């Protein structure tokens, strides 16, 4: 059931009516029922996988809570210090084995589906949202292990956390202790709630259909056509537009699901914060796919960087190479490992490993070379806080991101090398003037795309300066609000790419 289909619209309307007609304390049952109906409508066979993950991590959470209680009660009651330490280590070891089993089993299932794209001629169809609900469930049991969240004792309420249908579509990855309480709050029906949610949904549709889908036409012609005949300048433009396609598609999809969830009065975790305003790769990843970044930071990066081995490495490097090297190099290595995992999460191929190395490597070099870069800027008299330099850093970051994304566009090593070869040695400057209409987009398409990007940039700049667009719009007169809403709908209908032969409902991150 596609989010951009008439059946989904009907499903959503019925769910909203049932939700607000139901007494507040039973509304979570409507959400749970609707979520499983939605999931079964996609493919009823997928239910086996989400049910397995739900039950297995639910039982693990209960076991971990029991062990936490035993550590709290039993260990404290032991008078002998050595015996108390021994018992604590024993119970903690049981907890670690329980978490390890859950991680291996659930990520093992995910890996089988991901690796099927590499090992099989016909790949397995990934169950809807399997990456998102797997990461979300594993995060929950680690939080219970760390005693940072209480285990959920109601299996059905826990099932709602795992399978809440808006976040199954393409994230974000929600945290149990911040997310779940919203299911049980008494939220009276308010027209304003529906209006705000629908407004965000429309904005997501605009970014998806007007910007992302139109950019995709050009990108597909460039990278999936006869690339050896494409001028390097058009390949570079294609890389830039692929960045826009990814952002419009993914952030647009997130806006849609966040808008849907807001209609129920439930806020999903933040996932994007205007990433193309970032002035470095590190800042970019604090703005892009925020929920995944925070998950990896809390459950991968910090455990690696804070491990005894990395602590020993830091001490060794401080003695041999100085305080700065000893402080930054272990963190840089941990960053590279983390971003390799980011690459493999996207797809288990050498190209996505290189993609992870690209991002992790740039961040590692930047942190290690920071003192040297500061000295170079001082010698050259660069005013790093000036507006011009800030925009230079933003442009540089956008270029680095685009060049890195090219690694993911290839299916063979020779194809990957060809992309960079065309940009470096066959740039063809005249094509920047003459070649725009040769790759799927006509003049009218370019005008729509450019206008759409300008609108998106203007909205983003307002948001970056602290303006809350929907709140500002809500303070305007009713006729103006209706005018803006109808205008967006008309723009989507006229300028959106959704016609025959093009699956507008397909999302890049919808298969994760």
Q: Please state, in angstroms and rounded to a whole number, the distance separating the CA atoms of residues 119 and 417.
A: 24
**Predicted pLDDT at 392:** 92
What percent of the chain is modeled with pLDDT above 90?
Answer: 59
Instruction: Label residue 175 left, alpha or beta by phi (over 0 means left) and psi (-120 to 50 means alpha).
Output: beta
Give the residue, 426 or 119, on which the prediction is more confident. 426
Judged against a pLDDT cut of 80, whether residue 116 lies above it is answered with: no
pLDDT mean across residues, the chain: 89
Residue 232 CB neighbour total at 10 angstroms:
19
365 Cβ neighbours under 8 A, 6+ residues apart: 332
Go through the chain and tell me how many residues it has: 512
Residue 235's pLDDT band (boundaries 50, 70, 90)?
very high
Give the residue, 152 or 411, on which the prediction is more confident. 152
Please give the distance of CA 29 from its chain centroid, rounded to a whole number: 28
Give the residue, 123 or 110, on which the prediction is more confident. 110
Are 98 and 110 contacting, i.e. CB atoms less than 8 angstroms apart?
Answer: no
Mean pLDDT confidence for 386-396: 91
pTM over 0.75: yes
For residue range 331-388, what is the model confidence (pLDDT) as tens digits?
Answer: 999 999 999 999 988 888 889 999 999 999 999 999 998 888 889 888 888 888 888 9
Q: Please state, in angstroms and rounded to a whole number, the distance separating the CA atoms of residues 481 and 294.
A: 35
For residue range 172-184, what is the model confidence (pLDDT) as tens digits?
Answer: 999 999 899 999 9
For residue range 455-511, what is the model confidence (pLDDT) as tens digits?
Answer: 999 999 999 988 888 888 888 888 888 898 999 999 998 888 865 444 554 666 655
SS3 call for 288: strand
**Predicted pLDDT at 214:** 92
Residue 213's pLDDT band (boundaries 50, 70, 90)?
very high
Please give the distance of CA 147 from its chain centroid, rounded to a whole number: 26
Residue 433's pLDDT band (boundaries 50, 70, 90)?
confident
Mean pLDDT confidence for 56-68: 95
* Residue 492 token pair: 């989507």
**Predicted pLDDT at 83:** 80
Judged against a pLDDT cut of 60, whether residue 11 lies above it is answered with: yes
Judged against a pLDDT cut of 90, whether residue 45 lies above it is answered with: no
**Predicted pLDDT at 209:** 93
Judged against a pLDDT cut of 60, whether residue 23 lies above it is answered with: yes
402 Cβ neighbours under 8 A, 6+ residues apart: 236, 239, 240, 242, 243
Beta partners for residue 288, in sequence order: 272
Judged against a pLDDT cut of 60, whether residue 10 lies above it is answered with: yes
Q: Is 433 exposed, middle or buried (0-12, 13-18, 19+ CB in 10 A)?
A: exposed
SS3 call for 272: strand
Q: Phi first, then psi: what are they for 504, rounded to 5°?
A: -65, -20
**Predicted pLDDT at 121:** 52
Mean pLDDT confidence for 297-324: 90
Please give the distance of CA 193 from its chain centroid, rounded to a whole number: 25
* Residue 77 token pair: 């009651």
Mean pLDDT confidence for 443-457: 93
Q: Please state, in angstroms and rounded to a whole number, the distance separating the CA atoms of residues 41 and 45.
A: 10
For residue range 249-279, what is the model confidence (pLDDT) as tens digits?
Answer: 999 999 999 999 999 999 999 999 999 999 9
* Residue 334 token pair: 């941990």
What element of type H or E holds 165?
A: helix 165-170
What percent of the chain is modeled with pLDDT above 70?
Answer: 95
33 Cβ neighbours under 8 A, 6+ residues apart: none
């Amino acid at each position: 059931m596609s989010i951009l289909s008439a059946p989904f619209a009907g499903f959503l309307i019925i769910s909203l009516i049932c939700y607000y007609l139901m007494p507040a304390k039973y509304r979570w049952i409507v959400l749970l029922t609707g979520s499983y109906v939605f999931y079964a409508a996609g493919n009823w066979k997928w239910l086996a996988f989400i049910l397995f993950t739900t039950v297995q991590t639910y039982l693990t959470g209960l076991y971990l809570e029991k062990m936490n209680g035993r550590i709290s009660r039993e260990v404290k009651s032991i008078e002998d210090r050595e015996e108390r330490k021994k018992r604590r280590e024993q119970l903690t070891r049981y907890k670690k084995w329980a978490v390890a089993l859950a991680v291996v089993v659930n990520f093992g299932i995910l890996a089988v589906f991901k690796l099927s794209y590499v090992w099989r001629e016909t790949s397995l169809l990934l169950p809807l949202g399997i990456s998102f609900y797997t990461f979300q469930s594993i995060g929950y049991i680690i939080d219970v292990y760390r005693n940072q969240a209480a285990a959920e004792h109601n299996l059905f309420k826990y099932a709602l956390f795992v399978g809440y249908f808006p976040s199954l579509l393409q994230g974000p990855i929600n945290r149990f202790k911040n997310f779940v309480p919203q299911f049980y709050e008494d939220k009276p029906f308010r027209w304003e709630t529906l209006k705000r949610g629908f407004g965000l949904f429309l904005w997501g549709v605009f970014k998806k259909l007007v910007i992302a889908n139109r950019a995709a036409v050009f990108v597909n012609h460039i990278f999936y056509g006869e690339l050896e005949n494409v001028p390097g300048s058009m390949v570079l433009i294609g890389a830039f537009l692929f960045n826009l396609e990814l952002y419009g598609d993914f952030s647009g999809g997130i806006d849609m699901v966040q808008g849907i969830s807001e209609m129920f009065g439930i806020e999903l975790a933040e996932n994007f914060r205007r990433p193309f305003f970032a002035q470095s790769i590190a800042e970019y990843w604090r703005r892009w796919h925020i929920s995944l970044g925070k998950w990896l930071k809390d459950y991968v990066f910090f455990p690696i960087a804070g491990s005894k081995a990395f602590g020993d490495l830091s001490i060794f490097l401080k003695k041999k190479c100085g305080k700065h090297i000893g402080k930054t190099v272990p963190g840089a290595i941990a960053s590279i490992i983390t971003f390799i995992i980011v690459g493999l999460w996207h797809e288990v191929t050498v190209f996505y490993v290189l993609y992870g190395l690209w991002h992790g490597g740039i961040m590692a070099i930047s942190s290690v070379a920071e003192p040297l870069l500061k000295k170079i800027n001082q010698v050259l008299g660069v005013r790093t806080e000036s507006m011009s330099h800030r925009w230079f850093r933003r442009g540089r970051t956008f270029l680095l991101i685009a060049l890195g994304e090219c690694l993911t566009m290839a299916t063979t090593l020779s194809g990957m090398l060809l992309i960079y070869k065309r940009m470096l040695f066959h740039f063809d400057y005249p094509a920047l003037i003459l070649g725009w209409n040769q790759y799927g987009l006509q003049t009218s398409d370019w005008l729509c795309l450019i206008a759409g990007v300008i609108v998106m940039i203007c909205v983003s700049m307002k948001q970056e300066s602290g303006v809350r667009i929907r709140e500002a719009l809500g303070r305007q007169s009713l006729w103006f609000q209706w005018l803006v809403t109808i205008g967006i709908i008309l723009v989507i209908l006229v300028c959106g790419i959704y016609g025959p032969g093009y699956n507008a409902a397909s999302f890049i991150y919808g298969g994760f």
